[in-house]
Structure 1
Amino acid sequence: MRRSFYHYLMTLRGPNRNDPEMNFANQASHDIQFPKQSEDYEEISSYLELSVDYLPTMDLFDRTWEKYIENNQL
């Protein structure tokens, strides 16, 4: 069963504030508008670019997305 990007991102949460992916996951967990059911790169990318200020660079999203795709293959 495929899972959403948000679901994958929530597996990365933790206490290390120096880890960019962990910090991204922690911040997204508090974002009530995040597209939680989406598996669509364009939808999530657009949301992050236009609606949030907690993501320092889109490169971080792209790297995390690649890991999500690798992890989510059937």
Structure 2
Amino acid sequence: MRSQSFYQYLMTLRNPHAHDEISQFANNAFFDQAFPKQARTYEEVSEYLELNAGYLPSMTIFDEVWQQYQQ
């Protein structure tokens, strides 16, 4: 298991000046007060995003970042 949560990894991808989908996802998650910051499982994060993250235009963006997180 990774030593950092998915949220901690996602925050390494933040870039307020970038306009790519992954940077935008990270930037928006930063401002999401309810984001499950300690979550380490795919199911927990994906369920939250599907129900609560209107800022994420496609779950494929999450899937791509999750694959990077797992490596």
Residue segments in structure 1 that go unaligned for 5+ positions in a row: none
In structure 1, the residue matched to 2:18 is 16
In structure 2, the residue matched to 1:28 is 29
CA-atom RMSD, angstroms? 0.9
C-alpha offsets along residues 16-43 of structure 1, whole Å, 9 cap, x if unaligned?
A: 12x1100000000000000001101000
Structure 1 stretches of 4+ with a deviation exceeding 2 A read none
TM-score, L = length of structure 2:
0.94
C-alpha offsets along residues 7-65 of structure 1, whole Å, 9 cap, x if unaligned?
A: 00000000112x11000000000000000011010000000001110001000000000
Residue segments in structure 2 that go unaligned for 5+ positions in a row: none
In structure 1, the residue matched to 2:49 is 48
Separation in structure 1 between the aligned mates of residue 29 and residue 57 of structure 2, nearest angstrom: 13
